[in-house]
Structure 1
């Protein structure tokens, strides 16, 4: 479980989560996977790397007033444990991978929803609301792209 004290701690945890997901998708891809699943996992690994870099840039260049905002209570989401507990096996289907993506995106959305609820500063709440919306849009985009890949 992670301890969050400031907005920047939640942002950093999001960044670590995307790095963990990138590693997970790369690890799954090292198992004997179907070609389409391998293509999807390559795409997901690159996507998670981009998301991690985006949060890193925000961490470095974001408004210090917002990033240093203290939170009264911490979000109660442990995505790291979910990542560590993900079963990895050969022969995963596109649907299996899509299920993982949906679960992880839902967990990130819940993390940001809870974080938004735990801050009284409107600008900090807006950051978390925006991150939650972005995760929702990314989830829909990935699922759509994965379904197109499955139809190939």
Structure 2
């Protein structure tokens, strides 16, 4: 992933960062799909593009539908920068195998889950905790959905 330092100071920043990361993963899947020759991997990458696009759109809607005073709340202790480092260390290269693609996606999802969990642990405002908990559950559910779809894909 591209190296770009994000300042995660407010709830709004966490949502925007999550949306940005999903859009970035979608762009990487598009690039890989355009260079892929294996029909099965092309199908997986097309699915990943749709999945990541939907997740980015969901986070954008989430932000649009959240009250501004909640989005403007400051995080007393921003999430650990190790999470961003972990995301930047994900290696994408041409001719990745199915297993390599799945590993990168799972590591990506794990890092986002960690980001939301850390943000949740730093806030003691119940409405904000609810929002961050919902994001955490959404990311976790999407990780499991992706894993199930990959398992079905492998059975084809």
- TM-score between the two structures when normalised by the length of structure 1: 0.91
**TM superposition shift of 1:80:** 5.2
What does residue 91 of structure 2 align with? 86
Asked if the contact 1:20–1:80 (Cα under 8 Å) also holds between the matched residues in 2, the reply is no
Matched residues in 1 for 2:138 and 2:18: separation? 12
Asked if the contact 1:75–1:111 (Cα under 8 Å) also holds between the matched residues in 2, the reply is yes
1:24-69 deviation line (CA, Å, top 9, x unaligned): 1111212234211110110111111111111111222212221111
How is 1:37-116 mapped onto 2 (pairs within 5 angstroms)?
A: 37-76=41-80, 77-78=83-84, 81-82=88-89, 85-90=90-95, 92-116=96-120
**TM superposition shift of 1:23:** 0.6
What does residue 147 of structure 1 align with? 151
1:132 counterpart = 2:119: no
Give unpaired runs (5+ residues) of structure 2. Answer: none
Pick from 3, 14, 27 the counterpart of residue 10 of structure 1: 14
Asked if the contact 1:8–1:67 (Cα under 8 Å) also holds between the matched residues in 2, the reply is yes
Where do 4+ consecutive residues of structure 1 move more than 4 Å?
none
Q: How many residue pairs are counted as aligned between the two chains?
A: 149
- TM-score between the two structures when normalised by the length of structure 2: 0.89
Alpha carbon RMSD of aligned pairs, Å? 1.4
1:4-33 deviation line (CA, Å, top 9, x unaligned): 111001000011011111011111212234
**TM superposition shift of 1:102:** 0.6
